[in-house]
Chains A and B, each alone.
Chain A
């Protein structure tokens, strides 16, 4: 396991870079006298975050919920669908190329369609998150499962394992590293999808970050726009981090990183 020390050492450089950037930004704003409408200073944004913390945190929770539910839906559909496509030769020939092409379609553009089908509100944000997150999972699952070691497949064949048994005990575990990679990409995309969904399906009450951003924009509150963007980044990073941790937990013992473990365990 990565030690705490190593983690801190890894974090020093990026944290320094961000701190340096913020300071430079602050100085640039102060020296140039650019209007706060165009570019508020980091300090002003921080103050806004503090002042509007209730609204921002409430929004972040809403957005996190839409992104997480969308991500889970996408994961289940992507893993099950990908497994089926990988397992059934006809589906593999017909749907796999289609899935690859569909991935190129800018899926956020379908958000208005989702409003037509699902109406305004949370379901549309969830669906938008799921729609953009599903393809990386699907593609990763298919790739992982078609490239399972043929020797191991033969072993299962030899022992008369059914297709279902082979999937559970071989195809799925063998493709977990690939699936985790897909899930990590999907985690980031799900937050983007959720916010785009919120943009187009604006709903009141506990406004999610997408709505906070749109409202702040109309009210010319650039500082609040920035604050909400910062929070959506936090949401995205949290989801990504959670998925990465889960992935690490599932595969660290046997995959790639464990190649050198002979020395370590002796």
Chain B
């Protein structure tokens, strides 16, 4: 099968919930094929709503969310090989790590042998081999998130949607998980949307950052730093973080010089 990585396009997307709450207002941006775009913004600004639309779990009131192939054709959501990692790990408590990771393959009707082989592979890559027979209750919170990440990878997705995969873990684990996300993205080569609260995480991982505020786009920013030159302690990195930080502060309505 020839891989046709799509780009993900949000075109004038608005979403008004039944109660009349306007969660998104005319949002347009696109994630290039194989790119990693981070979406940041204050709590409640509509980030999850955007991701759910891309996942097909919610619909735009007006506007559209499209996957567009290299040839310019619009793909249907159903034909897209897409994986979502939610904010919470969402593991089945009665299944061990291996069987949780293999679930998407199982639901896709992949044979037992093949799915255990592929699950084994991503579990090993995630450094979870020693925990593969454990149940979710026997894992730490950070490990559970790594299992969830491994599960999103097991189908070799073309599109990856990650909703604050690190929000439930401490700063130390976050740095480890960031490394994991980077690996996941590089291995899969997928078109990736990463929602995060952390500016430093966004600058560390993304090639484009979308700053949102109250349902609208405040700024779309390309991350200038070359990927292999990103060093969390370097002044160039910290400068970039500061710039995005200012943009975010303005988006949140906090006055900055």
- Which stretch in B136-144, B173-181, B243-251 binds the other chain? B136-144
Which residues of chain A have C-beta atoms less than 8 A from B137's C-beta?
254, 258-259, 261-262
- A262 to B139, Cβ gap below 8 A? yes
A154 to B190, CA, bound (A): 22
Which residues of chain A have C-beta atoms less than 8 A from B90's C-beta?
149, 151-152, 154-155
- B104 to A159, Cβ gap below 8 A? yes
Which residues of chain B have C-beta atoms less than 8 A from A255's C-beta?
93-94
A121 at the interface (CB under 8 A from B): no
Nearest B-chain residue to A152, judged by Cβ: B90
Q: How many residues of chain B get a CB closer than 8 Å to chain A's CBs?
A: 23
B108 at the interface (CB under 8 A from A): yes
A229-261: CB near B (< 8 Å → 1, else 0) gives 000000000000000000000010111001101
Which residues of chain A have C-beta atoms less than 8 A from B197's C-beta?
none
Q: List 9 A-B contacts (CB under 8 A).
A: A158-B57, A159-B107, A165-B107, A173-B94, A254-B94, A254-B137, A255-B93, A255-B94, A262-B137
Nearest A-chain residue to B78, judged by Cβ: A160
Nearest 5 CB-CB pairings of A with B? A159-B107, A254-B94, A254-B93, A258-B137, A161-B107
Q: How far is the CB of B162 from chain A (nearest CB, A)?
A: 14
A157 at the interface (CB under 8 A from B): yes
Which residues of chain B have C-beta atoms less than 8 A from A261's C-beta?
135, 137-138
Residues of A whose CB lies within 8 Å of any CB of B are 149, 151-152, 154-161, 165, 169-170, 173-174, 251, 253-255, 258-259, 261-262, 265
B67-111: CB near A (< 8 Å → 1, else 0) gives 000000000001000001010101011100000000110111000
Residues of B whose CB lies within 8 Å of any CB of A are 55-57, 78, 84, 86, 88, 90, 92-94, 103-104, 106-108, 134-140
Which residues of chain A have C-beta atoms less than 8 A from B86's C-beta?
151, 154-155
Which residues of chain B have C-beta atoms less than 8 A from A262's C-beta?
137-140
Extra contacts besides A158-B55, A169-B107, A255-B93 (20): CB < 8 Å: A151-B86, A154-B57, A154-B86, A154-B90, A155-B86, A156-B107, A157-B57, A159-B104, A159-B107, A160-B108, A161-B107, A173-B92, A173-B94, A253-B135, A254-B94, A258-B138, A259-B137, A261-B135, A262-B138, A265-B138
A165 to B137, CA, bound (A): 24
Nearest B-chain residue to A256, judged by Cβ: B137
A89 to B103, CA, bound (A): 27
Q: Which of A149, A160, A173, A251 contacts B107 (CB 8 A)?
A: A160
- B92 to A152, Cβ gap below 8 A? yes
Which residues of chain B have C-beta atoms less than 8 A from A149's C-beta?
90
A253 to B138, CA, bound (A): 10
Which residues of chain B have C-beta atoms less than 8 A from A258's C-beta?
135, 137-138
Which residues of chain B have C-beta atoms less than 8 A from A251's C-beta?
94
Which residues of chain A have C-beta atoms less than 8 A from B135's C-beta?
253-254, 258, 261
Which residues of chain A have C-beta atoms less than 8 A from B104's C-beta?
159
Nearest A-chain residue to B82, judged by Cβ: A158
Which residues of chain A have C-beta atoms less than 8 A from B55's C-beta?
158
A110 to B57, CA, bound (A): 48
Q: A173-B92, A254-B94, A255-B93 are in contact. Are A265 and B107 (CB under 8 A)?
A: no
Which residues of chain A have C-beta atoms less than 8 A from B106's C-beta?
169
A161 to B108, CA, bound (A): 8
A255 to B95, CA, bound (A): 11
Q: How far is the CB of A70 from chain B (nearest CB, A)?
A: 29
Q: How far is the CB of B1 from chain A (nearest CB, A)?
A: 18
A254 to B139, CA, bound (A): 12
